[in-house]
Structure 1
Amino acid sequence: MFTLSQLESFVAVAETLHYGRAAERLSMTQPPLSRRIQLLERELGVHLFDRSGRSVRLTAAGQAFLGDARRILGLTEQAALSVRRTLAGEIGTVALGFTASAAHSVLDGIVGAIHTELPGVGLVLRERVSGAQLEELRSGELDLGLVRPPVPGTGIAYRSLHRESLLLATPADHPLAAPDRAPHVRDLDGEPFVMYSPAEARYFYEVLVGVFRQVEIVPHYVHYLSQVHTILALVRAGLGLALVPRAAETLKLDGVVLRPLAGVEGEPVELVAAWRADDDNPALYAVRDLVAGLADRKAL
């Protein structure tokens, strides 16, 4: 079977129609170039060049073979490039998990940046609660997860991505929704309150319990739910107040007013990126570094 070096030599001679110039292009001398062409012709069983006189011309067989030779060389170059791009993380697939609340805050920025800066990386998106994401990271079903802390156990690496404040959600006709009021967290003491589920939304449940404990108040929990949009629907129905992450502003739910709340320190809601420490997917490294860069620039 012919070799790639023989094909390269044939194409160089076919394009220059001159053995000397073809040898210069290939950084070799003319005798070994001639031997390559002879071996290729012997392998194919045809004459590729007409060497009569001092000129060199392609035979009909050589003209027919030239297009195929170029395509074969092009495919080998593309294959080599694909391998290099795969090792560099520019090509591949990453299974990305995210929580429902992350979809309202950072997901669009992350997906958009990957699409723009790593167009060869395909994303498999999976909406999961944090606990399920961590299980799928350990099993290899996910490559990268956008989860709420803490990240327990060994073998999972993580870094903080994003922090945000809490907003008070009230029905539009509630006194705390009035623009002349400046709500304080103590205003929630004894008020009907739609709380996060301690099982399905444990992170948010513990954040809010910590906030209430710090100011020594006890709201009256009327329902326990896990999804922000469902909590806001109950607020709109007048069943109670709620605290939601600032990203909930993107939902723009009619009949619900979101207000900044005094008495809550800093930005207590945190999101981290987590991945399996021994994951050898090069595309994961590229995506992880891209996401980390977005976080460092506070672009999330």
Structure 2
Amino acid sequence: MFTLDQVRGFIAVAEEGHFGRAAERLNMTQPPLSRQIQKLEKAVGTVLLERDNRKVELTPAGAAFLAEAKRLVAASERAPDAARRIAAGMAGQLRIGFTATSSFALLGPLLGRITAELPDVDIELHEMVTSQQVEGLQNGDLDLGLARPPFDMNMFDSHPLLAESLDLAVQQGHDLDVRDGGISADMLRNVPLIMYSPTDARYFYDLAVRLVPFEHRNVVHTVNQILTAVALVAAGRGVAFVPRSARLLGIDGVSYVPIDGLADNVVEIHAVWIRDARNPALARVVHMIRT
């Protein structure tokens, strides 16, 4: 097998066309350089240079080897810096899971900051509900999630990113489209309701059940995504409980009405990650999020 010193010696001789000038360029004498080239040719298994008393020329095999040799040396010079940058979290890959509504409220600004501060970190995005993000973090498919609590705090660490109100999405012109105030739970009697799956959208299901007394018999559709719920509201299929950031979805024909008696910070999104994660780029981004 050949060495990088032999390859560098070959490149110098090929570019200078002369052993003496190449040896001077490498700060060495000509005899050891000649031995390096001989060892290289033996390792490669073919003659790379034609020699005479006046000049040195590449053989066809040598010309082909020269192009690869330059790439090899360039890669060897980049490799230590790349390794150091990855170890320091300045380069590498970060796989981020996010919910649909977090993409409107949080994802854009977060990606902008990561790109500005860590331009050599490649970001891979995956739109998922919280339960899928948790699974992705556990099995190593994700590094960071933008998800809804609660989380197993023995396994995960997290940081709150957003707390907002729970509103009622209604079709514009609906009886509950109250422009000058909120609505009470009593006003939801006998109103068709679009509700969330207690398994695939557990966070919003539990939140609605805990905060707003409503009749389960009024549920006409069960969905997994806020976007789907708002689209059904626009189609006149019923009303839906949504986070205030759902307004950013930009679906026409929908109004968002405050619900009386609810605090304005009941809906949360957290950054979440595995406690013992070892991705240095993740550590950088976590520090960024926390500060």
Q: What range is the shorter-chain TM-score in?
A: 0.7 to 0.9
1:125 aligns with 2:123: no
Deviations, residues 46-91 of structure 1 (Å, cap 9, x unaligned): 4725352xx5x22352x75144234224135326635753670634
Instruction: Quickly say closer, same or farther: Cα 1:232–1:17, change in 2 above 3 A.
Output: closer
Match of 1:165 in 2: 165
Tell me, which stretches of 5 or more residues in structure 2 are unaligned? none
Residues 13 and 22 in structure 1, CA contact (< 8 A), matched pair in contact too: yes
Task: Map residues 199-210 of structure 1 onto 2, 5 A cutoff.
Answer: 199-210=199-210
Structure-2 residue corresponding to 1:275 = 273
Report deviation, 1:13: 2.5
Give the alignment of 1:48-87 within 5 angstroms. 48=49, 50-52=51-53, 55=54, 57-61=55-59, 64-78=61-75, 81=78, 85=82
Specify whether residues 41 and 188 from structure 1 end up closer, same or farther in structure 2 by C-alpha distance, changes over 3 A only. closer
Q: Which amino acid aligns with 1:207?
A: L
Using the TM superposition, give the Cα deviation of residue 261 of structure 1 relative to its aligned residue in structure 2, in angstroms: 5.6
Range 239-248 or range 145-154, more displaced: 239-248
**Measured at CA, do residues 84 and 159 of structure 1 come closer, stay the same or move farther in structure 2, by a change above 3 Å?**
farther
Mean CA deviation greater in 250-259 or 97-106: 97-106
Cα distance, 1:169 vs. partner? 1.8
Instruction: Give the drift of 1:159.
Output: 2.6
Q: Distance in 1 between matches of 2:51 and 2:142?
A: 60
1:286 aligns with 2:281: yes
Partner of 1:152: 152
Q: How does 1:23-42 map to 2 (within 5 A)?
A: 23-40=23-40
Give identity over the alignment, percent. 36
Give yes or no for contact 1:157–1:277 (8 Å, CA) kept in 2: yes
- Structure 1 residue 287, shift from structure 2 partner: 4.9
Give SS of 1:168's match: strand
Give per-residue Cα distances to partners, 1:110-161, cap 9 Å, x unaligned. 567777855673626252x323332342233433332211111523233333
CA contact (8 A) 2:121 2:281 kept: no
Q: Deviations over 1:20-50 (max 9, x none)?
A: 5534543444443343234445655647253
Residue 98 of structure 2 aligns with an amino acid whose one-letter code is: F
Q: Deviations over 1:178-231 (max 9, x none)?
A: 54x122x5x33342354444443332234345544xxxxx34452254422333
Q: Distance in 1 between matches of 2:97 and 2:61?
A: 52
1:103 deviation in Å? 4.1
TM-score w.r.t. structure 1 length? 0.71
- Separation of aligned partners in 2, 1:292 and 1:157: 12
C-alpha change, 1:246 and 1:50, in structure 2 (3 Å) is same
Partner of residue 252 from structure 1, selected from 250, 253, 273? 250
Aligned residue pair count: 279
Aligned to 2:181: 182
User: Does the C-alpha gap of structure 1 residues 135 and 38 become closer, same or farther in structure 2, counting only changes over 3 Å?
Assistant: closer
CA distance in 2, matches of 1:114, 1:277: 21
The whole-number CA distance in structure 1 between the counterparts of 2:223 and 2:205 is 10
- 1:190–1:220 contact (8 Å) kept in structure 2: no
RMSD: 3.8
How far apart in 2 are the matches of 1:198 and 1:168?
A: 19
Partners of 1:292 and 1:161 lie apart in 2 by: 13
- Check the 8 A contact 2:167/2:243 in 1, yes or no: yes
Give the distance between the partners of 2:285 and 2:153, measured in 1 at CA.
Answer: 25
Residue 79 and residue 250 in structure 1: after superposition, are their counterparts in 2 closer, same or farther (change >3 A)? farther
1:196–1:205 Cα contact (<8 Å) kept:
yes
